[in-house]
Every structure is written in C-alpha cells, then in structure tokens.
C-alpha cells in the first residue's frame, strides 16, 4: 500500500508539470462515483488539456 501511494504521488506530481493546462472538463459535483467495486473511483473523469 505504501508503494502504491508513492507511485501515485510521483505520477500526479509529474503529470501536472508535463501538462500544466490539464484540468477537469466538468464541475466536480458532476462526477459520479462507482459504488459497485471495492476500489471505488469515478465512472468517468473527463479532462481538458
């Protein structure tokens, strides 16, 4: 679990440096959570770049 956290920090830190204009394409309240799986997450995560 600690390795996964570290990997996510590296990925998210570098993705925003590489794509500074990357942003959410919809309002945060429009995002729908997946509830049928254990790991959670969003059904969709639309972005603009």
Q: pLDDT for 12-35, tens place per residue?
A: 889 989 999 999 999 999 999 988
Count of structural domains within the chain: 1
List Cβ neighbours of 21 (8 Å cut-off, separation of 6 or more).
48, 49
pLDDT (average), residues 5-18? 90
pTM over 0.85: no
d(CA 44, CA 1): 24
8 A C-beta contact, residue 42 and residue 32: yes
Is residue 40 domain-resident?
yes
Is residue 15 domain-resident?
no
Residue 24's H or E segment, with its range, is: strand 23-24
Q: Give the domain extent around 48.
A: 21-49
Is residue 36 domain-resident?
yes
Task: List beta partners, residue 14.
Answer: none
Mean of all residue pLDDT scores within the chain = 90
Task: List beta partners, residue 47.
Answer: 24
Is residue 2 domain-resident?
no
């Amino acid at each position: 679990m600690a390795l996964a956290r570290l990997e996510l920090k590296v990925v998210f830190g570098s993705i925003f440096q590489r794509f500074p204009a990357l942003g959410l394409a919809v309002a945060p309240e429009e995002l729908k959570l997946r509830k049928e799986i254990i790991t959670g997450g969003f059904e969709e995560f639309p972005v603009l770049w």
